[in-house]
Amino acid sequence: MKEKGQLIRQRIVETADELFYRQGYNHTSFSDIADAAGIARGNFYYYFKSKDDILAAVIRERVESIRDMLVNWDAEIPEPRNRLKRYAAILTNMQGDIAQYGCPVGSLCTELSKLEHMHYEHATEMFAVFRGWLATQIRQLGHDEDADVLALHLLSRAQGITTMANAFRDSEFLKREAHELEKWIDAL
């Protein structure tokens, strides 16, 4: 695909990603994506044949983005405890969106699970990437035997915080709980 085509395809994926997050996958139509991306529907089908094709591209993009972010954190932050705190800071950095829409990863996985969607398991790879990375950081802190259990605890605690902050539309709750999460990390 030529450069212009790649740019259009990327715009479609980014637009769909945003709409899936804000409206949900099931409530976002092909037309919604085409209109928001500013692409005529007739041309749109050249890039994606179905909404499921777009979803697969969105998930691939998210997984790669998460991996890239974590590689950057590994390079930029020398101390594993501080890397874990950087992970916890996602909550406060995204507090407005989280309070309104929930977690982009958690909300998509939950929706696809309810739909028994064919891309559900692929979507859970986003959590798996975080879980593996968290376990690595925790191992580096000396918790070899229980690193995966602690990683899953941290991941699930962050998801619980985002769910409650979204349910109650409460950014202050999110800030308090993110601070408590940092204290838990300090105690590791």
pLDDT in tens, 26-81: 999 999 999 999 998 888 889 999 999 999 999 999 999 999 999 999 999 999 99
Binning pLDDT at 50, 70 and 90, where does residue 91 land?
Answer: very high
The set of residues, in sequence order, having a beta carbon less than 8 Å from that of 179 and lying 6+ positions away, is none
Residue in this structure with the two tokens 């408590």, named with its chain if needed = 180
Sorted by where each begins, the domain ranges of the chain are 3-187
**Amino acid 43: pLDDT:** 83
- Return the CATH architecture of domain 3-187: Orthogonal Bundle (1.10)
Cα dihedral sign for 44, 50, 51, 55? Answer: negative
Residue in this structure with the two tokens 């709980």, named with its chain if needed = 177
pTM of the full predicted structure?
A: 0.94
Q: Tell me: pLDDT of 1 over 70.
A: no
d(C-alpha 156, C-alpha 171), whole Å = 18
